[in-house]
Chain A
Amino acid sequence: MSDADDIRDPIDAAYLAAEAAQAGDDARAARRARVLAAVAADAAAHTSASAPGPARRVAWRPGGWLAAAGVAGLGGWLTLQLYRPTPARPSAPAAAAVRVQTAAPPALAPTDPHGAAAPNDSPPTATASTVVPPAREAVVIASPKTFPPEAAPLARSLGGQAEMAAGTTALKSNEAAFAADAARDEPLDAPAAAPPAMARAAALGLAAAKLADSPASMARLQSSPRRFRDAPAELRAAAAAGRIGELEDLLAQGVAVDAPDEAGRTALMASIQANRPGAAAVLHRHGASLDRRNRAGVSARDLAIEKDDPTLNAALGLRP
């Protein structure tokens, strides 16, 4: 074989001419606007997620596992001291807290940030293999019975986490998301970036320490979008942003394809409204309903008809 293969060939030029003849400037301009907006939104999301800043992250680096376990233990101890539920079950929270403490995972496997030729959004398997905390213990701690009435919302949140840990596939996406955040080399907020065991340990400590006297902390805890992830919401967000990979992953993990938000909007509706035919095709293939209606009585089919986009119609199998 000659080295002539490494130089330009007339067929290469023909191909470039063919591509140029097919290119549409309008489509390119629209694509440019969409991509740059998506990149800006993604960067903004990561920036806001990293607040309040990298200073707190230092304490949560890999060496901070012991600190996380300590916080969990302190949280459990304070829970035991302050909120002993009934004389009949005095030891349940304490025992559970001890078990959670021992469930703190080992240090993450070392990774080589320069090992891969190119980055991939999904983190390496080794870094994502965090230990899933035992569900039963978390249920005991998070049971609303063990908290005073003012702690009910938080307890429900923790309970929800625990129920997911008991076996729902939605939890897997949360675990993966936490682990993915932890694996990324970027200035993430410490609790948000922490793997699940650490995040729960922090949540427990925070719950125990602040429950009675700091409603503001509770509110912040509950309002944090990254602390307790909502897989259906992630599905809708991925659909609206056209992130097919994330969409496929979530669906593969069993997230309900038609799970609506409070307005009754499904992921398919979100993808149609955002003009994401690729995402719409994926959702449609996974059985997303075209006829389910939101609270305004509008279905995905209605939205698609209103859009009247041939590409979108083709993605949804609708006739123009």
Chain B
Amino acid sequence: MESDPPDDAELLRAHRSGDAHAFARLYDRYDRPCFQFIRRLLGQAHAIAAEDLHQETWIAVSRNAGDFDCGRGSFPAWLFTIARHKAWDYFRRQKVAVLTTTRDEAAMLVADPDPTPLEHLESRELAARLLSAVEALPVAQRETFVMFAQGGLSLEEIGRATGAGFETAKSRLRYARATLRQAMAGERTANV
């Protein structure tokens, strides 16, 4: 009978004790969501820094592996929190004026709870447009949406990671989805 694969905390412990393969395994599990989170958070204008911030995030994970406490949250939540700090530090250094809530009110006006048939994205162009729509979200909504959709974090974890709390995270996620639905519904209409 095959044994269960080691969980994230076990891999981090193994990394701390000098097992290089353990870190590589952990990296392989979360490379893609972590990078895509950073990439979307930075947006197109700062995409050039995504690789470096991604690397800095994993170096921070390696250095601070001993600080991870699985009793306080999951590894992805910890990882995304680090990645978020890196991205916000970058914004601060670059003096980037991040779009915060200017589109929240407009998003609230969208009353389209019915899912659009976007599950079957076949066109790379359409995919690119959706990603552009994600990057056009206010940054607080953007990070919440990507953490939830890509990172699989719960709203509770997102609320802690962003310091915004559960209810705010929930609102942001809802607004983000509504805005994306609206954007893609318009896209669909335009393509018909």
Contacts and interface: CB of A to CB of B under 8 A. Distances in A.
B60 A119 contact: yes
24 contacts: A5-B155, A5-B177, A10-B116, A12-B177, A17-B118, A18-B127, A19-B127, A28-B32, A31-B51, A34-B51, A35-B31, A42-B62, A118-B81, A120-B60, A120-B82, A121-B59, A242-B51, A242-B55, A244-B52, A244-B53, A245-B56, A245-B90, A245-B93, A279-B52
Q: Assign chain B's interface to a size class.
A: 35 or more
A10 B114 CA distance: 9
Contact of A278 (B52, B59, B69, B130): B52
A13 B130 contact: no
Given A244-B56, A244-B90, A119 B82 contact: yes
A11 B82 contact: no
Contacts, number: 170
The B interface, classified by DSSP as helix, strand, loop or mixed, is helix
A45 B53 CA distance: 20
A254 to B, nearest CB: 15
Interface residues of A, number: 53
B13 to A, nearest CB: 15
Interface of B: 20, 23-24, 27-28, 31-32, 35-36, 48-56, 58-60, 62-64, 66-67, 69, 78, 81-82, 85-86, 89-90, 93, 115-121, 124, 126-128, 130-131, 134, 145-146, 148-150, 154-155, 160-161, 163, 170-171, 173-174, 177, 180-181, 184
A79 to B, nearest CB: 38
Nearest to B34: A35
Contact of B130 (A1, A15, A35, A279): A15
B59 A38 contact: yes
B128 A22 contact: yes
Given A16-B150, A19-B32, A278-B48, 19 more contacts: A10-B117, A11-B118, A13-B119, A15-B130, A17-B120, A18-B121, A19-B127, A21-B121, A22-B128, A31-B31, A31-B54, A32-B28, A113-B67, A118-B82, A119-B60, A120-B89, A245-B90, A276-B52, A278-B53
